[in-house]
Amino acid sequence: MDMTFGDAELAFQKEVRDFIAANLTPAMKRAEQLNASVFSEPETGVAWQRALNSKGWGAPGWPVEYGGPGWTPAQRWIFETEYSHAGVPSPSPMGVKMVGPVIIGFGSKEQKNYFLPRILSGEDYWCQGYSEPGSGSDLSSLKTRAVRDGDEYVINGTKIWTTHAHHANMMFALVRTSDEPRQQDGISFVLIDMKSPGITIRPILTIGGDHEVNQVFFDDVRIPVSNRVGDEGKGWTYGKYLLEFERGSGIASAKMREALQKVSALAESDATGRAIEDPDIAIRMSEAEVDIDALEMTELRVLSALQNGQNPGAVSSMLKLRTSEIYQAVTRLGVDVIGHDGLYVEPTRPLHHLNAAPAIPEAALAVVPKHLNGRAYTIFGGTSEIQRDIISKLVLGL
């Protein structure tokens, strides 16, 4: 057992570093520095996705035949790690990491041929139609209905917490196509053109001052039946498959380390009056760092198991649970680090569009928005309570 990289791995690490150095513009870097959300604004996210795609790195997790780079798990690890350290944009995962694997796994040949290249290139911008006002944790109780009419489905209902629906041109959604005794049955997985007549979007502002999420209404929206992925009534299976990708795309520790590094740099700067001199802050910094060490080791253990063709077990829920808690602890530490400047919240969004000099040092601008935004981390993608239910079932056999 060892944690060191071999020559081939070091060479790959250099290739990633070189790529980032050549493609990460100062404007992108600043936008990312000031980004309060868990993923980037489309303007930076899509630009970065295009750069990745031109290198053949648009979808690290995909099979080679669909445009994946064919990396080993260790290469993916190196890629994600370098990526996070460099402060690179985080493009929305809705296309590459979420709907992509579902289309690859269950879509028709036509769907694969049409959608996958458009995901890789960033041409299509996706959003997710899962939650509804009455169906949050109990997702399979969803009521948005798709009624078959010849070669079309007619969709009526509403979806909520739809991140970037106002930017997206496509939505993947779970809709009810029939009523069955078990509520998980009768659900189908469909792809909806957001320009379809009958769709209206209501913005929802969140506590950090961001407009990320929306409520989407469907009023006799027609989509072709050919936009259903897989079998009618099997959508729940596909949706769960996707959620596993959402929860445990596997490599989050590097992002957490980067988040902590930003807080640490702030604590060491004059902008915070060198908060790091406060022993309480210094020790909490170590606590967070050690938590990230543990997360990283767990990820590496999973990676080694994968590399040897073993099934790592039901760890995605455990990783989602801990990652979200660690992120919240790190952003909370950030709030303490900036002290009184935490009372100021800049209303401009996105923050990097701000032209006037802010009331507080720019380095501190995103700290409170990040913390407020981060409170959603233990809620989206299945709340921490739902993750604990899943872990108790899968890991503990309860």
Partner 1 sequence: MDLTPSDEQRMLRESADRFINETYTPKLREHNAKEPFGFSEAIWKQFADLGWLALPIAEEHGGIGGGAIEIGILMEAFGRGLVSEPYLSTVVLGAGLVAEHGRDEQKAALLPQIAEGKLRLAFAHAERAARANLARVDTTARKDRDHYVLDGSKVAVLDGASADRLIVSARLANNGSGSLRLFLVPRDAAGLTMSDYPRLGGGRACNCTLQGVRVPADAVLGGDSDAYPAVESVVDRALAAMSAEAVGMMQTLTDKTLDYTKVRKQFGKPLAANQVIRHRLTDMSVQVDEARSMALRAALKADAEPSERGRACSGAKAKIGNGARFVAEQSVQLHGGMGVTEELDVGAYFKRLLAFETLFGGSTHHYRRHAALSGRRV
Q: Using CB atoms within 10 A of its CB, is residue 69 exposed (0-12), middle (13-18) or buried (19+)? A: middle
Which among 41, 80, 82, 246 is annotated as catalytic? Answer: 246
CA–CA separation, 58 vs 6, rounded Å? 25
1 token code pair: 């057992």
User: Does 395 participate in binding partner 1 (rule CB under 8 A)?
Assistant: yes
Site for partner 1 in 35-74 (CB under 8 A): 74
- Name the segment binding partner 1 (CB under 8 A); options: 178-186, 227-235, 239-247, 388-396: 388-396
Site for partner 1 in 269-288 (CB under 8 A): 276-277, 279, 282-283, 285-287
CA–CA separation, 160 vs 132, rounded Å? 5
Question: How far, CA to CA in Å, does 391 sit from each of 120, 266, 299, 387?
Answer: 33, 36, 17, 6
Q: How far is the CB of 393 from partner 1 (least distance, A)?
A: 9
Q: How far is the CB of 275 from partner 1 (least distance, A)?
A: 11
268 is catalytic: no
Q: Which is nearer to partner 1, 296 or 346 (CB)?
A: 296
Question: How far, CA to CA in Å, does 279 sit from each of 216, 256, 282, 304, 329?
Answer: 48, 22, 5, 37, 17
User: Does 355 participate in binding partner 1 (rule CB under 8 A)?
Assistant: no
Q: Which is nearer to partner 1, 325 or 362 (CB)?
A: 325
Q: Which is nearer to partner 1, 192 or 321 (CB)?
A: 321
Site for partner 1 in 291-330 (CB under 8 A): 291, 293-298, 300-301, 303-305, 307-308, 318, 321-322
CA atoms within 13 A on the CB side of 292: 21
**Both ends of the chain: CA-CA distance in Å?**
33
230 torsion bin: left (phi>0), alpha (psi -120 to 50), beta (else): left
User: Does 121 participate in binding partner 1 (rule CB under 8 A)?
Assistant: no
Q: Which amino acid is at 374?
A: G
Instruction: Tally the residues of the chain.
Output: 398
CA–CA separation, 157 vs 146, rounded Å? 9
User: Does 237 participate in binding partner 1 (rule CB under 8 A)?
Assistant: no
Q: How far is the CB of 279 from partner 1 (least distance, A)?
A: 5
Q: How far is the CB of 71 from partner 1 (least distance, A)?
A: 13
| Closest by CA position to 92, among listed 169, 158, 15 | 169
- Name the segment binding partner 1 (CB under 8 A); options: 33-41, 116-124, 150-158, 384-392: 384-392
Point out which residues bind partner 1 (CB under 8 A). Answer: 1-6, 9, 74, 77, 276-277, 279, 282-283, 285-287, 289-291, 293-298, 300-301, 303-305, 307-308, 318, 321-322, 385, 388-389, 391-392, 395-396, 398
